[in-house]
A and B are shown apart, each in its own frame.
Chain A
Amino acid sequence: MSIIYFLIGCSVFMALIFLGAFFWAQRSGQNDDLYTPSIRMLLDDEDIPSPKK
């Protein structure tokens, strides 16, 4: 049953990585604006200049 020590260690370690990732995202401002990207992705890019309509 000693495997449990190892497994718990692994799970806590994994969870810590996720927590760290969340902190990093928070600090780098990724969660500051949660609304604008939802509109931005709906707009099409236009690399080729389209002819005047």
Chain B
Amino acid sequence: MPKYLARRLGQSLLTVFLTLTTVFLLVRLAPGDPAAAYAGPTATTADLARIRGEFGLDQPLIQQYGIFLRDLLTGNLGTSYSFRAPALDVVLDRMPYTITLAVAAIAVTAVVAVPLGVWMARRADSKRELGANVLTITGQSMPDFWTGVMLLTVFAVLLPVLPASGFTSWSGLVLPTVTVAILQLALISRLVRREMTTALNSPYITVARSRGFSERALTWRYALGNSGVPLITAIGTRFAALLNGVVVVEVVFGWPGVGSLVVRALETRDYPLIQATVLVTATLAILVQLLVDLAYPLLDPRVRLGKAA
């Protein structure tokens, strides 16, 4: 177990490091001058040169990379050009909002999708199940920005019951959460349905039923329990993806999370900010994946981590 953990952590570190390097190179290859974006259209050549010197952009690429790595070891990711503050702090300030949205969205998804999937498995291939299936597919097929704008129009403009944008009170969380959850519903509910159909047709369920177990226990305890590993994998993967920034939904709702920060950082070519965002989100996403893998033995005692099956 400790050996497995060490190996996984090592791999994760390597992934984060390679991602950061890729991003470091990509942003510097991209056209667009951070100095010009920073100084505005009236800047003179001398101004631009001064700003480049200030940001350290006048040095050769390899030297910039060296400085970047050295600073990385001390936890210093540079100063954001547009916020004039340590880039890491700017990102960490925004992170709670993204985490809140991701947790709320994944919780709503799970609370709706799991019972729905169970219901679909028990009513497999009936007309009503087909209807539910088509409905979730429709939810998955709507572009999230469009769903967001539509919900906004209906619930914030036409019937002003919910705030339109930003995070001023908890009710501001409702619309973004629903928008994200609609997209995830189909995936999770169909996974639950598939796993549950297989489980409910297994011999052990027949045996348990013949011994007089209640249908409720059969469904929720035994069949759903045995679907735990793929279910947690899917939910964990989705959660990790959400942590990486629900860029579009955050932009639509003016949500002050990392997703909208990314868009702004890209527009202003804020290199340190882009790098800090990638570092934080990639680390979090990898941690979630790791936690999911560590949860397998709890859900299924047959799984032994670090050993071939």
**A, B assembled together:** no
Which residues of A approach B to under 8 Å, CB–CB? Answer: none
Which residues of B approach A to under 8 Å, CB–CB? Answer: none
